[in-house]
Amino acid sequence: MQINQIVSMLQEDLKNERKHMLFYLQAGVMVQGLHREELSEMFLKEAQDEHQHVVMFSRLIVQLGSIPNQEVASFPTDLVCPLKIIQYARDMEQEVSEIYSKRMIETSNENRGSFESYVNLFYEDQLQDSQKTALELNQYIPSVGWNFQNSFLG
């Protein structure tokens, strides 16, 4: 795989990492409902984690001799329901997990050098983190959904 192809992949994935960071920031201030404080804290912490991902992708792009783009993939900015926010976040994390899994396949072959191996491991770390977050968010859905619905039904 050529360096320009790797940079192109990283640039595309950087858009998603910025999306994640901004989504979690937005969710942290927009969330409403019974468990707003706890969820806001969780989303804002996740935004910090996503900021680190943005930095990691950006640094790797610079190390490869390119300039990180400033684009952001789109996301809904009007979600306030905890359940909808968590479901969207889970799906968003799962989506990039699939992308990073694909990136690992694209950067792996038996003739790869140390650089391709490094990029492959970079994506493996990203995959692990995104999949872990998706699984953790999935655990909130029954609990948050039940509390949110029952808080209005009495």
> What CATH fold (topology level) applies to the domain 3-148?
Ferritin (1.20.1260)
| pLDDT tens for each residue of 106-132 | 888 766 678 888 999 999 999 999 999
pTM higher than 0.85: yes
Which is more confident, 15 or 138? Answer: 15
- Asked if 6 and 107 count as a contact pair (C-beta separation under 8 A), the reply is yes
Of 114, 11, 112, give the one whose Cα is nearest residue 65: 11
Q: Is 50 exposed, middle or buried (0-12, 13-18, 19+ CB in 10 A)?
A: buried
Of 84, 19, 69, give the one whose Cα is nearest residue 46: 19
Confidence band, pLDDT 50/70/90 cuts, at residue 84: very high
Tokens standing for residue 146: 């039940």
d(CA 37, CA 25): 14
| pLDDT tens for each residue of 87-106 | 999 999 999 999 999 999 98
- Residue 13 pLDDT: 98
Measured CA to CA in angstroms, residue 72 lies from 59, 68, 75, 107, 124 at distances of 17, 12, 9, 24, 22
Query: Would you list the domain boundaries of the chain?
Result: 3-148
Mean pLDDT value across residues 50-54 = 98
